[in-house]
């Protein structure tokens, strides 16, 4: 299976996760394939600010993301009024959600490592239910 196929499969899996939790979500056409797509999914729920989601998966314990990709992602998110979130999935670990400020600078790239993602990141319900509580308060 090619990296593109694996990435598409991961994005579809993430889309299903949002749907199962009552969110409306859509994959962004051409994500990762050209310079004019800046996120992988857009997701929203009634009475909540919507999200731009950048999805990454890896069998390695580290995921590297170019600084340019994150800069474009952040600019797009803020321009469109979306909350930026990075969804990462490591083999046999499930999806973990982190905020862009939690990325580590490796010099030339941003990096997410498995250990830090597990200790500082949140699972779907933890990340998005917290958002619901903050909106209600």
DSSP class per residue in 84-102: EEEEEEETTTEEEEE-GGG
16 or 1, higher pLDDT:
16
Q: Tell me, rounded to whole angstroms, the distance of Cα 91 from its chain centroid.
A: 16
In this structure, are residues 34 and 14 in contact, taking their beta carbons and an 8 Å threshold?
A: no
Q: Is the pLDDT of residue 134 over 70?
A: no
d(CA 109, CA 129): 30
Q: Is the pLDDT of residue 2 over 80?
A: no
Q: What percent of the chain has pLDDT over 70?
A: 84
Active site residue 106: no
Indicate the average pLDDT of the chain.
88
| pTM, rounded to two decimals | 0.86
> Would you state the pLDDT for residue 136?
43
Report the chain's terminal Cα–Cα distance, integer Å. 46
Q: Following CA atoms 80, 81, 83, 87 in sequence, which dihedral angle do they give, to the nearest 10 degrees?
A: -10
Domains of the chain, start order: 3-125 (3.40.1350.10)
Please name the residues in contact with 75: beta carbons below 8 A apart, sequence gap of 6 or more: 38
The 8-class DSSP code of residue 37 comes to: -
Among residues 10, 31, 57, 77, the one annotated as catalytic is 31
**pLDDT (mean) for 68-94:** 95
């Amino acid at each position: 299976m090619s990296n593109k196929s694996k990435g598409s499969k991961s994005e579809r899996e993430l889309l299903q996760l949002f749907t199962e939790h009552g969110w409306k979500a859509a994959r962004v056409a051409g994500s990762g394939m050209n310079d004019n797509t800046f996120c992988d999914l857009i997701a929203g729920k009634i009475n909540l600010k919507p999200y731009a989601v950048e999805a990454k998966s890896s069998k390695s314990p580290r995921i590297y993301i170019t600084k340019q990709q994150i800069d474009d992602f952040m600019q797009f998110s803020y321009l469109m009024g979306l909350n930026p979130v990075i969804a990462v999935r490591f083999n046999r670990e499930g999806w973990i959600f982190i905020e862009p400020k939690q990325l580590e600078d490796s010099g030339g790239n941003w990096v997410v490592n498995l250990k830090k993602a597990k200790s500082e990141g949140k699972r779907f319900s933890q990340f998005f239910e917290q958002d619901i509580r903050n909106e209600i308060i």
